[in-house]
Structures are given as C-alpha cells and as structure tokens.
Structure 1
Amino acid sequence: MPLDFKTAVQQEEAYLREVHPTPEDIPKCMTLFDDFLLCHVMSAQVKSLYRYGKMTECSQKLEDFKFCMSSKGMHPEEKRDAWIQRRAEWWANRRIAKSSEDVWDIRTEPLKDYPPPPPELSLDDLKSMRTVG
C-alpha cells in the first residue's frame, strides 16, 4: 500500500521532534547560509553532475535560509515547531515522490531458488578437473 502524504508528514514530524528535542537543536541561520554557499562550490556541482547528470539545485537551501531569517521574531519553541513542520513536509515529499535514487524495489521475501544450486558433477568431471590444474 503506497504511503500517503499526511501519514508521511506525521512520521517525519515524530522523528524530527525526537532528533531535535529543544529549540537549540535546530540549525542556526548562519549554518543554513553556509549550507547554501557550500551548495555552489565546484566539488558539489561536479558530484551532482556525475550522479544525476545535472548541476545541483541550491534554491531549497536558499529558501531554508530565508525561512530562518523570517522566523527570527518568533518565540524559540514556536520557531522550532515551524521548522519541524517545514522539514517534515520536505522529507514527506521526498519520500513520496520518485527520484533518481529510486532504483531498487524493496524485497519483502527472498528470491526463490537463488542462488541456484551447484551443478551436479560426475566422477569423470572431478577427475578431469584434477588433471587440468
């Protein structure tokens, strides 16, 4: 059964609240600005080009920084809640949407008859293997 957006957001929110239990645990605006700048460095762009065939998109990192700056006047707990909600929605979208990283389907049970059983060897086969080496 495919995961729906609302459930994914709730799961992500619960996880983020455990990972970031206090307002001091969420990233500071300068950290987010550094992340935005690091997104533009040559090594990040080359890695993205190699992995995905295109330059990396840094607009999300800029939006994260701008969101942080716009929430400066909020109470720390309110700011944490808003940040967790925003990140939970981002992760939920990422989990539900297809991406270039979705190469394999998760197996729920092992493959039948894998690995295949070894071939039956006759006595003559074994003798010929001994004399070859």
Structure 2
Amino acid sequence: MSPDPTELFKAAVQQEEDRLRVLHPTPEDVPGCMTLFDEFLSCNMVGKQFRSLYRYGEMAHCTPKFNEFKFCMSIKSLHPEQRRDVWIRHRAEWWARRRLGTSSESVWDMRTEPLKDFPPSIELLTSTGPLVD
C-alpha cells in the first residue's frame, strides 16, 4: 500500500519547518521585504535574463520572486515572532512541494538513518583480499 500523499506532504512540511527554525532562530534572520524586492529586481536584470536565455532557451521566470515580495508585504503588520512563524510555514510548504514534486533529484531517496556497516571496517577490507592487483 502506497503512503497517503497528504500524510507525506504533512511530514515533509514538518521536516522543513524544523530545519527552517534552526536556520532562522530569530525574527531578524527572516529576509525582509526590501531584500525580497531586490531579488525580484535582480531577476529582471539584463545579465540574468541573458544567462537564462543562453542556458535554458527562455527568459528567467521572476513571478515567483515577486509573489514572495507580495507575501512579505501581506505579513508585514504582524508581530515579529508571529511574522517569523508565518514565513517559516510558508517556506516549509514551498520546500515540501518542491521536494515531493518531480525533479532531476527524484532518483535519490532521503535516508532517515545511516547505512549499515558503512564505511566498511579495515578488517573487512583486508579479509576480502587485495583491492588492486
């Protein structure tokens, strides 16, 4: 039986929230609206658009960066700690959607525990004979 997609999404969001709370421990660590607006403007610069056109054959998509700026403006009036919580939840959902969607990284499974007997011990390597003839 395959896992429920809703439960997978909830688990991924929780993992991302935990990670983001460590990365952004205080409200001052959350990017400000001006930083996000600068990222949007930077996306529209001729050099970045040309690079995107050269690498991917299309212009860079700056709408997501503008949407992040608009989201920031919508939570600007909240208390700093509450704004941090809302921002972390928003970013965690974004990362969870990205993780659970398809990408070039879809060939990898996320490990929840270390590999068993890795790295191999010296005794194991020497008991199997020489590695190089």
- The percent identity for this pair of structures is 56
Q: In 2 relative to 1, CA 40–17 (structure 1 residues): closer, same or farther, beyond 3 Å?
A: same
User: Counterpart of 1:79?
Assistant: 83
User: Counterpart of 2:31?
Assistant: 27
TM-aligned CA deviation for residue 57 of structure 1: 1.2
**Structure 2 residues not aligned, in runs of 5+:** 116-133
Select the structure of larger CA radius of gyration: 1
Q: In 2 relative to 1, CA 38–77 (structure 1 residues): closer, same or farther, beyond 3 Å?
A: same
TM-score by length of 2: 0.71
Distance in 2 of aligned mates of 1:51 and 1:105: 23
User: Counterpart of 1:63?
Assistant: 67
The DSSP-based 3-state class of the residue aligned with 1:95 is helix
Distance in 2 of aligned mates of 1:103 and 1:10: 20
Number of corresponding residues = 110
User: Counterpart of 2:18?
Assistant: 14
TM-aligned CA deviation for residue 39 of structure 1: 0.7
User: Counterpart of 2:108?
Assistant: 106
TM-aligned CA deviation for residue 103 of structure 1: 6.2
TM-aligned CA deviation for residue 91 of structure 1: 0.8
Distance in 1 of aligned mates of 2:69 and 2:90: 12
User: Counterpart of 2:128?
Assistant: none
Distance in 1 of aligned mates of 2:89 and 2:53: 31
RMSD over aligned Cα, in angstroms? 2.8
**Structure 1 residues not aligned, in runs of 5+:** 110-133
**Segments of 4+ in structure 1 off by > 4 A?**
none
2:54 is aligned with 1:54: no
TM-score by length of 1: 0.71
